[in-house]
Amino acid sequence: MGKRGDSDLGGARSFSSPSGETLAALAERLDHSGMATVIERTPIHIEIALQQELPTIPPGPFDQVIIAGMGGSALPAELVIDAFSERLKVPLRVVRHYVLPSSVNERTLVIVSSFSGNTEETLSVVEPFPEKATNLVVITAGGRLAKLSRERGYSLIEIPYKREPEGFQPRSAVGYFATYFARVLSAAGLLDDPIADLQSVIGFFREAQIRPAAEEFASWLGQRIPVIYTDEVHRMSIARTAKIKFNENSKRPAFFNGLPEANHNEMIGFSNRGIGDFGILYLHDPASHPRIRERFNVMKKVFLREGLQNVAFREWEIPGETKIQRIFAAINFADWCSYTVALLDGVDPTPVALVESFKQVLAEEPVS
């Protein structure tokens, strides 16, 4: 089981909120879209995506891969890059924009990802492609993107979102997206077969006890602003994803960075005691260079010596025998932690009303 550095965990679900309600009572009152069920189904999402028949995947040859998407439809790409970094046969990068880089040509495999199928940045990437493009794969749950793909004959993977609770969010589809990305790369000859790795994650989740530790950390966090640190190699896959979970599930500002880089710049920002209280969570990968953990411990020591009481520290050691298991474990920890923070703050973890309002207003603005 994963562990925090200071003390043993367990029984966290029995603690009460400031209002005196148990987490179970808060979930009954606030979790209107069944986010807890969605989080619990992550290994099932992987299993479904492994069993799903894929369309014909362009065979290449390819010199590079671009995964184009936004928000929750893009973040699982960082997981795949991290998990399979030593096995990818060509460079892979994520594009979160309206246009593709100028280096993209027919020898570039472009995987376009949009859960809703209506993401304007992603549609902007797809629209210039010709019919029956031989270097394009589309992953979506529907919308305009699915319609366009069928009309033009693109390789289309449809996410079976109707199996999920109503209100299912893109950020909760990590298992689906990561599995599709890895299978597409394998089918294109750019990644050795990842199926055994992904299947191991399913088995790992049956044994892992992550939720109690995550709930305990959420209780400790209180009203502090979350700051997520990891080894630099996991900065985008784990730390950034965890930050997004706190933004969308907990409706809180949050920050992320990697060690050792944060020790060279970011940490000085906390010396301004008047800007708020922060809770720094270091997600420790046991496979990291030992100096990474030492840097976190020295940072705690120096902050204590300098009297920086606006910053509190916690560590959680990520469980798992393989890198992909540890990455999924850390993301699952962030899911449960941010979910619990939402309940303790009295908010429903699923809706993202401000984002939807923004999209509506943006759609009404004239294109300049």
CA distance 107 to 64: 7
Q: Name the active-site residue from 45, 248, 315, 323.
A: 248
CA distance 135 to 107: 7
Rg value, the chain, Cα: 21
359 is catalytic: yes
248 is catalytic: yes
Q: Name the active-site residue from 53, 86, 264, 321.
A: 264
132 is catalytic: no
What does the block give as tokens for 4? Answer: 């925090």
Reduced to 3 states (helix: H, G, I; strand: E, B; else coil), residue 92 is strand
- In the chain, which residue ranges form alpha helices assigned H by DSSP? 23-30, 35-40, 42-51, 75-83, 120-126, 143-152, 174-187, 195-207, 211-221, 240-248, 290-305, 323-345, 353-364
Q: What is the DSSP string of 352-363?
A: -HHHHHHHHHHH
Which of 331, 351, 51, 33 is CA-nearest to residue 198? 51
Query: 81 vs 66, 139, 308, 324, CA distance in Å?
Result: 11, 17, 36, 10
Reduced to 3 states (helix: H, G, I; strand: E, B; else coil), residue 66 is strand
Token match 């910053």: residue? 311
Report yes or no: 148 and 169 within 8 Å, Cβ to Cβ: no
Report yes or no: 67 and 94 within 8 Å, Cβ to Cβ: yes
Catalytic residues: 248, 264, 359
